[in-house]
């Protein structure tokens, strides 16, 4: 996982920003799927 994404997720968790966490999880899912296929 890219460092910038890890930092964004940590920040979102710290702020208990569930919408942001969901959004970042989706981004990561698509990013990973795109790069692995």
Q: Residue 37: pLDDT above 80?
A: no
Q: Residue 24: pLDDT above 70?
A: yes
C-alpha distance across the termini of the chain, in Å: 16
Banded pLDDT at 5 (limits 50, 70, 90) = confident
CA distance 28 to 34: 10
CA distance 5 to 11: 10
Q: Residue 21: pLDDT above 80?
A: yes
pTM for this prediction: 0.58
């Amino acid at each position: 996982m890219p460092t910038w994404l890890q930092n964004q997720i940590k920040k979102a968790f710290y702020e208990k920003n569930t919408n942001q966490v969901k959004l970042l999880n989706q981004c990561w899912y698509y990013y990973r799927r795109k790069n692995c296929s």
